[in-house]
Amino acid sequence: MTELPTVELHIHIEGTLEPELIFRLAERNGIELPYGDIEELRRHYEFIDLQSFLDLYYSNMAVLRTADDFADMTRAYLTRAAAAGVRHAEIMMDPQAHLSRGIPLATSVGAVAEVLAKSESEFGVSTELIAAFLRDRPAEEALAVLDELLEMEVPIIGIGLDSAERDNPPRNFVALYERARQAGLKCVAHAGEEGPPDYIREALDLLAVDRIDHGIRCMEDEELVERLVAEQVPLTVCPLSNVRLRAVDTLPEHPLPQMLQRGLNVSVNSDDPAYFGGYMDENFRQVRAAFGFSSAQLADLAANSVRSAFLTDTRRRELLAEVEQWRQQHQ
């Protein structure tokens, strides 16, 4: 079977930093890691919740120092994504996670943006960049960083909201999203991963987001599901992530099939593939194995992503045609 052509809407570039690259960058930058070898590092990839993952995710970022480090990480992702069948990716990055370590935005965001500018010609993957803000840091800091990004005129298509969700509700970031929208940016936010269904409502009502990242906990709230179906709000679901962070117990218990059954606009994404056991191809493979999805259902999921992406009409038509061609070839 040829690889399903996909669009990836929920991916954190720092979550693509593989253990091998962590060791290579540590050596290049003269950084002493608290692990003797890759195997010892890998033994820490056992998570009990979102926070236990975030602790390792932020700690591993210490090896990202120079523009070359950010560029190498980005190129490694694009190489792997292209092999996975990804044709377009809207990539989040966490500028504050680097700024707070003394890495200027020009180095971190600048280097990622420079690689992404050539992603279509060099890797066959068109891309957009989304600046994600850390909800467990002060909202004033997020505003200041957004202002700096706007001043630098870095090519971002939108903003996101990530990091520790519990007790850090969307309502804390109303001013940030207003500023972003005024600047013509698209808006997405993580909600309903570990946080309650009400955080999804807040993200829609108070932040006016165009997409919800994760959103799986909507299934606990019938009224909210009805609204999400009626409005066809895109939910960027990350099945392997949800299992590894124990938002769900096992993949067979994941609500993805019920979400599709209800008519929600759901897509499949990899989130932090270096940490959660697989890129887009592996997410689709495991979802297919767990739920026995037909090729037509996989094509429906891929088409949902194309519909939910921030694309030009031309590129959207191009990608929908690729998905439909795959559907014809695999029926």
Q: Applying CB under 5 A, does 90 fall inside the site for Zn ion?
A: no
Say whether 324 is catalytic.
no
Q: Applying CB under 5 A, does 72 fall inside the site for Zn ion?
A: no
Q: Applying CB under 6 A, does 162 fall inside the site for ligand HPA?
A: yes
Q: Give the separation between CA 11 and CA 276, rounded to whole angstroms.
A: 12
- Element containing residue 171 per DSSP (H, E): none
Q: How far is the CB of 147 from Zn ion (least distance, A)?
A: 24
| Stretch binding Zn ion (CB under 5 A), from 102-110, 113-121, 265-273, 318-326 | 265-273
Which one is catalytic: 193, 194, 202, 322?
193
Residue 101 is which amino acid?
R
| Stretch binding Zn ion (CB under 5 A), from 198-206, 246-254, 266-274, 301-309 | 266-274
150: helix, coil or strand?
Answer: helix
Q: Applying CB under 6 A, does 60 fall inside the site for ligand HPA?
A: no
Q: Residue 10 annotated as binding? A: yes
Q: Applying CB under 5 A, does 271 fall inside the site for Zn ion?
A: yes
Q: Which is nearer to ligand HPA, 156 or 319 (CB)?
A: 156
Q: How far is the CB of 316 from ligand HPA (least distance, A)?
A: 26
First-to-final CA distance of the chain: 11
Q: Give the separation between CA 51 and CA 55, rounded to whole angstroms.
A: 6
Three-state secondary structure readout of 181-240: HHCCCEEEEEECCCCCHHHHHHHHHCCCCCEEEECHHHHHCHHHHHHHHHHCCEEEECHH
User: Which residues make Cβ contacts (< 8 Å) with residue 317, sequence separation at least 6?
Assistant: none
Q: How far is the CB of 42 from ligand HPA (least distance, A)?
A: 18
Which residue, chain included where needed, has tokens 């600047």?
Answer: 183
Q: Which of 176, 170, 229, 177 is nearest to 196 (CA)?
A: 170
Choose which of 11, 12, 17, 25 interacts with ligand HPA (CB under 6 A). 12
Q: Applying CB under 6 A, does 190 fall inside the site for ligand HPA?
A: yes
Give the binding site for ligand HPA (CB under 6 A). Answer: 12, 15, 50, 57, 162-163, 190, 193, 241, 271-272
The annotated binding site for Zn(2+) is made up of 10, 12, 190, 271
Catalytic residue numbers? 193
